[in-house]
């Protein structure tokens, strides 16, 4: 079982890397947009990506996240295996549903933005990865649920 404080330390190390990477991506995209290097669309996408990474990493460094994370790790560590499997199934199903909803929202956006030759590879990547993540979480859900059904 992982110790909560040790797990938090590892997550915070990853958050520091995210802070650095997000800052670099955001700054580089802003500099390239100001200097007119590259395309505006690429600078815009890079700025959004850098800002998202920076925001999540900053949240992971907060004390609010630390309290929530430690509490969650302690709770999960103390669950019996059957309850842990049930929790995993619920989370996998929820993640699959979220990715299906994201895919359904992304399809009309892709249809509208498909005219841009620049955005087509990004749209294909976004649609494909969203669909693959949904399938991955659904298969995890099915496998865990099948295991739970065999235990009853």
pLDDT band at 113 (very low <50, low <70, confident <90, very high): confident
| pLDDT given at position 72 | 87
DSSP string covering 39-90: -HHHHHHHHHHHHHHHHHHHHHTSHHHHHHHHHHHHHHHTS-HHHHHHHHHH
For the whole model, what pTM was predicted?
Answer: 0.65
| pLDDT given at position 13 | 92
Q: Give the tens place of pLDDT for each residue, 53-100.
A: 999 999 999 999 999 999 988 888 888 888 888 888 999 999 999 999
pLDDT band at 151 (very low <50, low <70, confident <90, very high): low
d(CA 141, CA 132): 14
Q: What are the helix and strand counts (H, E) for the chain?
A: 5, 0
CA distances for 67 relative to 5, 14, 77, 126, angstroms: 10, 17, 15, 33
Q: Exposure string (b/e) for 78-116, b if CB count within 10 Å is 16 or more?
A: eeeeeeebeebbeebbebbeebbebbeebeeebeeeeee
d(CA 26, CA 110): 24
| pLDDT given at position 152 | 52
| pLDDT given at position 127 | 92
Q: Give the tens place of pLDDT for each residue, 2-44.
A: 688 888 899 999 999 999 998 988 888 888 878 877 677 777 8
| pLDDT given at position 47 | 84
Provide the residue ranges of all domains of the chain, joining segments of one domain with +.
1-78, 79-152
């Amino acid at each position: 079982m992982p110790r909560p404080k040790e797990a938090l330390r590892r997550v915070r190390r990853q958050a520091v890397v995210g802070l650095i990477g997000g800052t670099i991506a955001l700054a580089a995209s802003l500099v390239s947009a100001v200097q007119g290097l590259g395309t505006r669309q690429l600078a815009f996408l890079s700025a959004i990506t850098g800002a998202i990474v920076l925001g999540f990493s900053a949240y992971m460094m907060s004390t609010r996240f630390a309290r929530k994370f430690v509490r969650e790790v302690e709770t999960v560590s103390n669950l019996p295996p059957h309850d842990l499997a049930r929790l995993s199934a619920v989370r996998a199903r929820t993640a699959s549903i979220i990715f299906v909803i994201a895919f359904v929202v992304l399809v009309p956006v892709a249809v509208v933005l498909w005219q841009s030759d620049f955005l087509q590879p990004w749209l294909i990547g976004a649609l494909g990865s969203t669909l693959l993540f949904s399938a991955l979480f659904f298969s995890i859900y099915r496998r865990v649920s099948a295991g739970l059904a065999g235990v009853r």
